[in-house]
Structure 1
Amino acid sequence: MNIFKRLYTIGKAEINSVLENFEDPIKLTENGISDMKNQLSESMEALAKLKALSIRKKNEIESEEQTAKDYYTKAILLVQKSDKGEIEVSEADRLAKEALKKQSIAQESVENLKKENEKLQDDCEKMQANINNLKSSISKWENELRTLEARVQVSEATKDINQKMTQIDSSSAVSMLEKLKEKVVQQEAMAEAYSDISKAGKSVDEEIDDLVKNIDGEAENALQKLKESLKKG
């Protein structure tokens, strides 16, 4: 977490200045997450070493406990042999005392090893807590990164749109629309004019034929109505 450590070492005013000058907040966040992941990896490795030491201490404790039991058993056997007359009393007592001394030393070693192992287990718990906090922080900042990326995309798109809007001359746009409207009106007027011209260009005979056709049509309709009335009557 070198980036964060560097930030914490400078004053608040300087932090604000630095933050204002960051050109790529996404890259900075990615670097921070990368630092935390590196520290997580180192912490996991350290935890594995601590647990390995703790396992070795447990094995040593069991071995020393067995040694203490063996020496105590040997001291008992020596006294028993002495009672049976198999060994001289003085010799049995001497050797039994030595066995009990070794049993005491082994038992003392057991107690020391237990204390060392308790310290190792305490260190393991603290390291595990740090690892859990790092995992939680990494998860949090990865979510923050996704949110930040989305916000940057939106802000860049908004900036681009606003920039383009500022480049548009509203007066020229209105002028262009007025010209288009005028062109449409002109086209409509031209179409109506051509229609009048086409009508004016008909000959007298064409006009007569048009009227006659209309009359014939009206007479035909009247005849059909008459026939229908006669059928009903």
Structure 2
Amino acid sequence: MGIFSRFQDIVNANINSLLDRAEDPEKMIRLMIQEMEETLIEVRSTSAKVIADKKTLERRMAALTQDAEDWEQKAALAITRGREDLARAALAEQAAATETLELGHNELDAIESHLEDLNSEISQLQHKLDDAKAKQKSMLAREQSARSRLEIRRRFNRDKLNEAFEKFERYERKMDNMEAEVESYDLGSKDLAEEIADLERDEAIDEALAKLKARMDKKDSGE
């Protein structure tokens, strides 16, 4: 468990929360995956060493088992030959081999328990590693999208949009006032066609006035 303990923050990590604290999420994810891969290699290497130790211990235990059986046979042979002293010595050797064998069983149990822990760690880390690789592209896309939206909101927040709209409306109103001022200068003024028409009307009135005066003069003179 010692090898893997310093990587528990990775195994149990909420990757999104790590991204929130990352200045460069792409680099962060890449480093996380690299660290997981390196840890997986280290744990597998440790597992291989423990498996090798287990095989060595099993060979020693097999040899001790054989030794215990051999000493028992020797003790039996010594008894048949009337050599109780040799039989006792052989049984003492058998007892020593059996005691060492019991210690071997305890050590083997500890190794097997360690291997189970390592296998669990490997499985857990492999799952996290596969999950991180599968989510790598989508997480980067989500992060970039979120940053883009955030940047847009920062540049064009509601207050700035309202300010822009107000400026535009003020400018539009200014243009309306300028156009109205220009049009006001045209009020009461006549174009060339209208002035000529007025002249023609004045001339017709003058002619009518002259004719009326002439008729009145003739009437007054008795004609």
TM over 0.5, shorter chain: yes
Shift of 1:36: 1.1
Match of 1:230 in 2: none
* TM-score, structure 2 normalization: 0.57
Deviations 1:182-211, CA, capped at 9 Å, x for gaps: xxxxxxxxxxxxxxxxxxxxxxxxxxxxxx
Distance 2:126 2:8 in 1: 16
The Cα shift of 1:151 comes to: 2.7
The CA deviation at 1:55 is 0.6
- Pairwise CA RMSD: 3.5
What pairs up with 1:5-20 in 2 under 5 angstroms?
A: 5=9
Q: Please name the residue that 2:104 is paired with.
A: 113
Does the 8 A contact of 2:75 with 2:91 survive in 1?
yes
How far apart are 1:22 and its partner, in Å?
2.7
Question: Partner of 1:75 in structure 2?
Answer: 75
**CA offset at residue 27 of structure 1?**
1.3
Partners of 2:134 and 2:59 in 1: CA distance: 44
TM-score, normalization: structure 1? 0.55
- 2:45 corresponds to: 45
SS of corresponding position for 1:28:
helix
In the alignment, which residue of structure 1 is the partner of 2:215?
none
How far apart are the structure 1 equivalents of 2:8 and 2:60? Answer: 42
Shift of 1:81: 2.0
Cα deviation digits, residues 160-192 of structure 1 (max 9, x gap) = 9999x9xxx998xxxxxxxxxxxxxxxxxxxxx
Residues 97 and 21 from structure 1, CA distance in 2 versus in 1: closer, same or farther, beyond 3 angstroms?
A: closer
* Aligned counterparts, 1:26-105, within 5 A: 26-82=26-82, 92-105=83-96
Provide the residue aligned with 1:144 in structure 2: 135
SS of residue matched to 2:120:
helix
Structure 1 unaligned regions, length at least 5: 9-15, 83-91, 172-233
Give runs of ≥4 in structure 1 deviating > 3 Å.
Answer: 1-6, 18-21, 152-163
Check the 8 A contact 1:4/1:32 in 2, yes or no: no
Contact 2:25 2:140 in 1 (8 A): no
Aligned residues: 152
**Conserved? CA contact 1:68–1:103, under 8 Å:** yes
State how far apart, in whole Å, the 1-side matches of 2:126 and 2:20 are.
Answer: 29
Distance 1:131 1:3 in 2: 12
Structure 2 runs not aligned, ≥5 long:
157-163, 169-223
Q: Distance in 1 between the 2:96 and 2:7 partners? A: 51
Distance 2:75 2:107 in 1: 29
Residue number among 120, 125, 129 corresponding to 1:134 in the alignment? 125
